Amino acid sequence: MSEQEGILVLGLGNSLHGDDGFGPRIIMELQKRYEMPAAVELADGGILGLSILPIVERHHHMIVVDTVALGNEPGTMYRFPLSELKVPEAPPHHIHLMGVAEVLRILKNDGYEVEGTVIGIEPAAITPWVMGLSPTIEAKIAEAVELVAGELKRRGYPAAAAVEGKDGG
């Protein structure tokens, strides 16, 4: 594979399943609130699972944003190294993270390493056919966006605040 530059911020989750839409929502908020350096790719990975392989293989560094159900208080924020993701046995912590772990394993088997961080949140309610986040998770959006922006800055990709009136979609 060719030498890669930059970093991927990948939001995972299903926006039609309540708090499961956390990852895509954070990507949307980052797009609205920040002007990202050219080397930062923001991607809504939705529920693509293994289909994210072409997106991930363009980068050696990434930040994954998703719900992470570990049984703690809803709204608990998590930050841990991407290397700690394992291909879980059923039931997984989260099906989207399982896809990322499998993609990373496939790339590693091909001699390609991806390094990064997972920023997650303990969901309050993942309910099919419910649009929008629960009040508990909604209240954590600004904190999560700042966590991702801080992680980008630590890695040498500082984002500038967006100009007011920017079209965020």
Torsion of CA 72, 45, 63, 54, to 10 degrees: 140
Residue 42 phi/psi, 5-degree rounding, is -95, 125
Name the architecture of domain 7-160: 3-Layer(aba) Sandwich (3.40)
pLDDT of the residue at 83: 83
Distance CA 67, CA 11 (A): 10
Convert the pLDDT of each residue in 95-133 to its tens digit. 445 566 677 777 777 777 778 899 999 999 888 888 899
| Max avg pLDDT among 26-40, 104-118, 150-164 | 26-40
Q: Are 97 and 69 in contact (CB under 8 A)?
A: no
Domains of the chain, residue spans: 7-160
Note the pTM of the prediction, 2 decimals. 0.83
* Per-residue 3-state assignment (H helix, E strand, C coil) for 125-145: CCCCCECCCCHHHHCCHHHHH
User: Of the candidates 95, 42, 87, 50, which has an alpha carbon nearest to the alpha carbon of residue 68?
Assistant: 95
Q: Which residue has the higher pLDDT, 93 or 66?
A: 66
Q: Is the pLDDT of residue 9 over 60?
A: yes
CA atoms within 13 A on the CB side of 42: 22
Distance CA 119, CA 66 (A): 7
Q: Side chain identity at 128, as an amino acid letter?
A: P
- Distances in Å between the alpha carbon of 12 and those of 33, 62, 121, 155, 167? 19, 13, 12, 21, 23
Please enumerate in sequence order all residues whose Cβ is within 8 A of that of 50, keeping only pairs 6 or more positions apart, or say none.
Answer: 99, 102, 103
Give the model's confidence band at 167: pLDDT under 50 very low, under 70 low, under 90 confident, else very high. Answer: low
